[in-house]
Structure 1
């Protein structure tokens, strides 16, 4: 099935769910995903059952709260810029690591905010400890889920209930001319001290309007066509760090916080591709310092 067909399938399914037209009646068992969240209602969990069947059909999702956490504001100040952070710390005796993390906003027309494929040179693949942060659009009061897939093929989830509405249709913060003038420009933020062989948290900022297709232009009286970042690839010293599949649930001017481990000086590179197949690249030299 082509990427376009998959996206259309997910969009149609999610729109039906978000409008309350269909109620999922799935035969798969309802596994516990985490502690019940805040004001979440039975309808929210029915919707989650249907959303996860779209993204993880027929698969069991276990409660990951022992090692996986998802942090987001209970009541967001700006529904178009909701900060979300997912952290994981595996037990020392775990014989597996996390290879993929999927972030889903259940109530959005397209729930997928990001599917993060993680790489760790020392472990061969996956991460035992991770911290990933970004900003998302939230279209209505909803559960947000983070689903971790492990190197031994299991799925674990964490969840958070967020009160926010209208994030997918919120107008752009920049005017079109300003947005296009900065299109694809990137910035990398690093700590003042980067230790050799230690985990380093970096922030990648990408200038892009990330139009959802639901925003209304008051001048032309038409909807702004969807135009969004589709993928982000990050590497360090020639080795992959993270490959991300994204969609319209990611905010305008996407921001990604992620961890990597510089064992020696090298270049951190980012490659971004949007829905018009435009490619943008960034390259920064990193010189880690030995511990004092």
Structure 2
């Protein structure tokens, strides 16, 4: 199942049931471990088909707050201690309306030892990180997070204000050393509307508009391609590492409404 297909089906369901369910949507707090396991098995089959997924405590780890301070802005760190073995990683937020939050596919210029991003969490939920290794096997880790309402939380400003400067990008680089990967933080101006947020003036739902593809390249080598959905927080911030080759980083982003943006960033020269 693609992210777009999962998004369309799940969002239609959640909007249809929101008015009836109301506060009951937060009832995920009372789900049993058996119910959560059954939910994950259903999601995993819809995304990965019949491929076996092994549990791991060494190939990928999730670091997330046990109780989120802001459900619309939950910081997530994915740590992959054996980066040379990692081909891709998928983040699944089981009880979000569109659980398949993002997939990162790494290229030869990537150093996927650590990846940071911010997400929306709509309910008390398990999160799963599933890595695909270079030999095509799948491994997963999970963490339970207490948060509620992140996908429908208003942005605190008008839609027009939220869309100002959409597509603007900035990038910060950590100090680089010869022969070492460089850590970078990419910031993109984009509201990433979930389709569940209500316009406080018109009382209508703001149509979903979110970054669905992001590609970062170093010269002619890919660092990563991200396929995203509504669970990525507004104004996405992604922290990653890459192997510099002296050439600028090229960033290309597109959203589900046809918007597209490109930007180039020059990494700092290595220091001894």
Distance in 1 between residues matched to 2:156 and 2:173, nearest whole Å: 26
Match of 1:41 in 2: 33
Kindly report structure 1 stretches of 4+ aligned residues shifted beyond 4 Å. Answer: 1-7, 9-16
TM-aligned CA deviation for residue 58 of structure 1: 0.8
Distance in 2 between residues matched to 1:119 and 1:40, nearest whole Å: 39
Check if 1:267 corresponds to 2:239: no
Cα 1:40–1:146 shift into 2, 3 Å: farther
Match of 2:258 among 277, 281, 285: 277
Check if 1:154 corresponds to 2:117: no
Check if 1:286 corresponds to 2:263: no
Match of 2:91 in 1: 103
CA root-mean-square deviation: 2.7
Distance in 1 between residues matched to 2:2 and 2:124, nearest whole Å: 31
Match of 1:171 in 2: 154
Partners of 1:40 and 1:161 within 8 A in 2: no
Distance in 2 between residues matched to 1:253 and 1:189, nearest whole Å: 15
Higher relative contact order (CA 8 A, sep 6+): 2
Cα 1:136–1:157 shift into 2, 3 Å: same
> Any stretches of 5+ residues in structure 1 without a counterpart?
21-38
Match of 1:57 in 2: 49
> Any stretches of 5+ residues in structure 2 without a counterpart?
25-30
TM-aligned CA deviation for residue 61 of structure 1: 0.6
Write the mapping of 1:66-215 to structure 2, written as runs, cut at 5 A: 66-90=58-82, 97-121=85-109, 130-191=113-174, 193-215=175-197
**More helix, by proportion:** 2
Match of 1:234 among 216, 230, 245: 216
The size of the alignment, in residue pairs, is: 263
